[in-house]
Structure 1
Amino acid sequence: MILTVTPNPSLDRTYEVQALKRGEVIRAETERMDPGGKGVNVSRAVAAAGRRTVAVLPLGGAPGALVAELLHAQGIEVAPVPVVGDTRSNIALAEADGVLTKINAPGPELSGSEQELLLDTVRSQSRDADWIACCGSLPRGLAPSWYADVVTRAHAGGARIALDTSGRALLEALRARPDVVKPNAEELAQAVGRPLTTVGDALKAAEEVRSMGARVVLASLGADGQLLVSDTGAWFGSARVSAVRSNVGAGDASLAGFLIAGGTGPDALASAVAHGAAAVQLPGSVMPTPADLDPAAVTVTTDVPVDRELREPAS
């Protein structure tokens, strides 16, 4: 079982439009409504693969009730933490050329008692978990050290933990030595305090993040591929993609694919790349099923192309 923790979930509305023009009335071609948040997306991808997952998340108001309903409909067990504030609603505008514009609401502020209940729920639900995936931003009320506390408690209980967050929350958590961290290029650059312009730059940054405490780094480099860096070596994975439809949740699908395949080594990286590549070819934040995957399109190698310039340099 893969347990996911999403401290700041959302109700996501995605609209596909031909082009985004400021100040004009834009008519959407399609509309989707999905439960959102990085950990929620990991659970959705795990469930789509036919595996058991439990999603721990604070939920409040009508948006929170709808998030729980949508998750149940996808076969996901929900361990809700009731909160007074309403769960946030986010909007994504996906243009025909693949450009995505997102508007993310701040979300509710958790009280002291709600924070304790969230930690207690993670503890009670983690007994049967093979992996705990803690993902996303922290809501108002939670200290930057909150993820570090979760990592420490998870390890004390014998669980493995994967972390996908950024900024100070990531830096604080690294001291607790999470088993896996999954930054993107921007988050890597932020963690090491310098820009990344090549795959080699990203590799050095990933190695530095390992020296800061991460046992394994799974780095998403967007269209350039993914890096896996551990104490046994470094691998680079990429995949052929025919057309990008939406990259919402693609990194979360990658993390799910990595954990589903065991969370270690090149085979897990290949699974991560396959899941991420499939996700970007689906609408909105739809998570790929096994039928959507194309393992033959994936390449994993120890020959990391260190001189390759990133198509989207990170600053």
Structure 2
Amino acid sequence: MIVTLTVHPSLDRTVSLGAPLRVGEVQTASGAREDAGGKGINVARVIRAAGVDSLAVLPLDPTDPFAAVLADADVSVRPVPVAGRARANITVTDAAGETTKINLPGVALSDDDLVALIDTVVAAARGADWLVLAGSLAPGLAPDAYVQVIRAVRDRLRAEAPRIAVDTSGPALRAVVRDARPDLIKPNDDELADLLGAPLPEAADLAEAVHVAARGLVPEAVGSALVTLGGDGAVLVTGEGAWAAAPPPTRVRSTVGAGDSSLAGYLLAASRGAEPAAALVSAIRYGSAAAALDGTQAPRESDLPTADIPVRALTR
């Protein structure tokens, strides 16, 4: 079982254009779709599509139309009642794979809402393999909200507490790394630089620079780091070593949710006992598959690229 928490869910509206986006002009879309989104929900959908149990915890107003879209998403959910509608995220993609995003604000959560979410997460996470805290924090929550979740899970569940992965950015990520020592973080390269408060160091290539930067965190502050690099692949840094891999040739349709699918692919492999390099390959395959799909669809095994994905070890 893999449990996810999404405190800032979204209705993802994706509009596809047959030509590049022309700002200030009227264009006709070639297609459109709506998906229940939010990083934790995306991860849970991918996990479930792989035939592994997942459960998504999220705040949800029972009258919110988002509930109907979520019901069609084939994901098990445990909603925590709140007042207000989930935000909408608008994504415009064109035939060249360029993605433009507009993210709207969501429901503001209170301290009482956070307490209810924490209680629900603790109950859901007992005995799970992983707990994933993913996405931006909802308005109204303090930057240490994820720290509060992690402490509650570990304090109350103790030996039954799952490993904890965090995929967020900015002050929320800095608070987690400073105060909660997660088992895994999944920033991209820009988020890693922001976390460290400095540009990535000079190195032979991006993967090497990410490795050097992440070594300032792993294993002292976090157990491991999976750093996604978009079209350049990903880097995995653990206490035992570091590895880099690049994606196979991919016709990119939408990059929305690709990082979430990468995280899901890694967790699927890690929960099955895969070696780190194999788990990194799984992350690459799932991220590439998601980028080749429209909207924020959850890739299935049949969508995964079959091309060989070489992995290289990185050394200090």
Superposition pairs of residues 221-240 of structure 1, within 5 angstroms: 221-240=229-248
Preserved contact between residue 250 and residue 288 of structure 2 (Cα < 8 Å) = no
Check if 1:20 corresponds to 2:31.
Answer: no
**1:303 shift after superposition:** 4.5
Of residues 173, 176, 180 in structure 2, which corresponds to 1:173? 176
Q: Secondary structure at the match of 1:270?
A: helix
Query: Which residue pairs with 1:300 in the alignment?
Result: 311
Superposition pairs of residues 16-165 of structure 1, within 5 angstroms: 16-17=16-17, 18-60=19-61, 64-66=64-66, 68-156=67-155, 157=157, 158-165=161-168
**1:239 shift after superposition:** 2.0
Query: Which residue pairs with 2:191 in the alignment?
Result: 187
Q: Which amino acid aligns with 1:2?
A: I
Identity of aligned residues (%): 44
- Partners of 2:74 and 2:94 lie apart in 1 by 30
Preserved contact between residue 11 and residue 33 of structure 1 (Cα < 8 Å) = yes
Query: Which residue pairs with 2:298 in the alignment?
Result: 287
Preserved contact between residue 207 and residue 244 of structure 2 (Cα < 8 Å) = no
- Partners of 2:111 and 2:313 lie apart in 1 by 47
- 1:68-94 CA-to-partner distances (Å, cap 9, x unmatched) read 333333431110011112111111000
- Listed as ranges, the gaps of 5+ residues in structure 2 are none
- 1:101-150 CA-to-partner distances (Å, cap 9, x unmatched) read 11101111112221211111111111142110100000111111111122
Q: Secondary structure at the match of 1:261?
A: helix
- Partners of 2:245 and 2:228 lie apart in 1 by 10
Preserved contact between residue 71 and residue 77 of structure 1 (Cα < 8 Å) = no
- 1:156-209 CA-to-partner distances (Å, cap 9, x unmatched) read 322111000111111111121100000001100101122237322211111113
Q: Secondary structure at the match of 2:34?
A: strand
**1:60 shift after superposition:** 2.5
Preserved contact between residue 239 and residue 299 of structure 1 (Cα < 8 Å) = no
**1:254 shift after superposition:** 0.5
Preserved contact between residue 61 and residue 85 of structure 1 (Cα < 8 Å) = no
Q: Which amino acid aligns with 2:299?
A: P
In angstroms, what is the RMSD of aligned CA positions?
1.7
- Partners of 2:250 and 2:306 lie apart in 1 by 14
- Partners of 1:69 and 1:298 lie apart in 2 by 38
Check if 1:242 corresponds to 2:250.
Answer: yes
Q: Which moved more, 1:102-111 or 1:150-159?
A: 150-159
Q: Secondary structure at the match of 1:219?
A: strand
Query: Which residue pairs with 2:5 in the alignment?
Result: 5
Query: Which residue pairs with 1:201 in the alignment?
Result: 209
Preserved contact between residue 181 and residue 214 of structure 1 (Cα < 8 Å) = yes
Q: Which moved more, 1:253-262 or 1:113-122?
A: 113-122
- Listed as ranges, the gaps of 5+ residues in structure 1 are 307-315
Q: Structure 1-normalised TM-score? A: 0.91
**1:248 shift after superposition:** 0.5
Q: Which amino acid aligns with 1:182?
A: K
Preserved contact between residue 4 and residue 134 of structure 2 (Cα < 8 Å) = yes
Runs of 4+ in structure 1 deviating by more than 4 angstroms, as ranges, are none
